[in-house]
Amino acid sequence: MIASRTYLDHNATAPLRPEALAAMTAAMRVCGNPSSVHHEGRRARAIIETAREQVAKLVHAKPLEVVFTSGATEANNWVAASGEWAAILSAGIEHDSVRGPIAGASAALVSLQVSLDGLVAVDEIARHGLSGAAAMGRTLVMLQMANNETGILQPVASVAAFCRAHDLHIHTDAVQMPGRLLIDFAELGVDSLSLSSHKLGGPAGAGALVIRDGVKLASFMTGGGQERRRRAGTENLIGIAGFGAAAEAARNDVATTARLARLRDMLEAGIRELTPSAVIVGAASPRLPNTTSVAVPGQTAETLVIKLDLAGIAVSAGAACSSGKVGASHVLTAMGLAPEITNNAIRLSLGWNSSEADVATFLNVWGEVTRSRARRAVA
Ligand code: PMP
């Protein structure tokens, strides 16, 4: 049953990598609390520190810059809700785990403009980041690296250079990058960056906030000395072990970008041939190699997702991963796209175990789905 399914929803959650499963199984047998000084505690501590090195290597950061969290939602909340900001600059394309805490923050909020191509220009930060409330105190800029619905990549390195020059804190949500494109935290120049284990083949419920050495950020979770007093709470040993192993496996998968891009290009070429009216969102923008956001005029996302699911294929409609509801995508709406696209776009996302066979199966079904609609249209 499972074997006959085709999973094209890696941006929602990637299947668990065997290396992560093995590391988690081994960690389940370890009983110590990583803060305990006895032998059992030290064994647990060693698992956490190994994982920290693995995650640090994945993004080219120092191990001491990696703080484990319960996921990227916590990491994004940590930064946005820190209460230190006089102003927060962000765009409507951000994930809800950024938009939610920003909406509740006591800072002045500045909405950055997004082009029809899905991009935020460095000029936008220059225009808003140095005046008004931003000039009155510490300013936070939140700009994602890659969008989870469209895969569109933001010019984070250039924005970070501007922010560093003007003493603005720049945070980036890099959740969708690992296992798809390389991240070099040291070179990128951001102050903080969030990661999520389950997008790269680790378990859900583990993630990290990577904080540049020397950057001060008040703790979000308090009441314990864990993570060098930066994140209180007994560590999720099993989840962190799986996150570390998945990070190492993703780092070793060096041919991944080219392989994913080849599969994605096959997928898009097939879609264009079978449904010439289909719109591929962000096709002209720099994009992740694994993500396709596609809208077909006259076919709502909801209907397509259900038809594909019945045919054995898992895809998602917009970013409905948290609620199961399907509505207009806030990301595509922020890009200024027409309702015909914001209501109809579905997302196909490939990953570490995707194959040519998955693409072929999808295209067969896609042909059927669109043909059956054409039949009904003339009936
Ligand atoms: N940011 C982005 C871009 C995401 O895609 C997600 C997951 N949907 C998150 C943050 C939240 O990550 P987590 O599930 O680890 O809380």
User: What does the pLDDT read at residue 3?
Assistant: 54
DSSP state letters, 261-312: HHHHHHHHHHHHHH-TT-EETTTTS-B-SSEEEEEBTTB-HHHHHHHHHHTT
**Angle 256-262-264 (CA atoms, 0-180°, nearest 5)?**
100
SS3 assignment, position 130: coil
State how beta strands 279-280 and 87-91 pair: unpaired
SS3 assignment, position 91: strand
User: What does the pLDDT read at residue 324?
Assistant: 57
User: What does the pLDDT read at residue 370?
Assistant: 72
Pocket of ligand 1 (CB under 6 A): 71-73, 95, 97, 144, 148, 173, 175-176, 196, 207, 321
Determine contact, residues 213/62, Cβ cutoff 8 Å. Answer: yes
Atom of ligand 1 nearest to the CA of 144: 3
User: What does the pLDDT read at residue 326?
Assistant: 61
Whole-number Å distance between alpha carbons of 76 and 336: 25
User: What does the pLDDT read at residue 321?
Assistant: 45
Q: Whose CA is nearest to atom 8 of ligand 1?
A: 12
User: What does the pLDDT read at residue 374?
Assistant: 47
Distance 150 CA to ligand 1 centre (A): 14
Beta bridge partners of 209: 67, 194
- The CA–CA distances, whole Å, from 334 to 103, 113, 124, 331 equal 16, 8, 15, 5
Q: Whose CA is nearest to atom 5 of ligand 1?
A: 148
Distance 223 CA to ligand 1 centre (A): 25
Q: Give the start-end residues of each E strand in the chain.
A: 6-7, 66-69, 87-91, 108-112, 139-142, 169-173, 192-196, 207-211, 279-280, 291-295, 313-314, 316-317, 346-349
Whole-number Å distance between alpha carbons of 198 and 175: 9
Catalytic residue among 321, 328, 360, 363: 321
Whole-number Å distance between alpha carbons of 18 and 62: 26
Which of 78, 99, 148 is the best mutation target for the ligand 1 pocket, counting ligand atoms within 8 Å of the beta carbon and taking the most? 148
pTM given for the model = 0.95
321 noted as active-site residue:
yes
User: Of 354, 341, 365, 366, nearest to 149 (Cα)?
Assistant: 341
Q: What is the sign, positive or negative, of the torsion defined by CA atoms of 232, 182, 290, 252?
A: negative
Determine contact, residues 156/288, Cβ cutoff 8 Å. Answer: no
Atom of ligand 1 nearest to the CA of 73: 16
Which of 90, 95, 98 is the best mutation target for the ligand 1 pocket, counting ligand atoms within 8 Å of the beta carbon and taking the most? 95
> Tens of pLDDT along the chain (379 residues)?
445 899 999 999 999 999 999 999 999 999 999 999 999 999 999 999 999 999 999 999 999 999 999 999 999 999 999 889 999 999 999 999 999 999 999 999 999 999 999 999 999 998 888 887 777 889 999 999 999 999 999 999 999 999 999 999 999 999 999 999 999 999 999 999 999 999 999 999 999 999 999 999 999 999 999 999 999 999 999 999 999 999 999 999 877 999 999 999 999 999 999 999 999 999 999 999 999 999 999 899 999 999 999 999 999 997 454 445 567 889 999 999 999 999 999 999 999 999 999 999 999 999 888 775 544 444 4
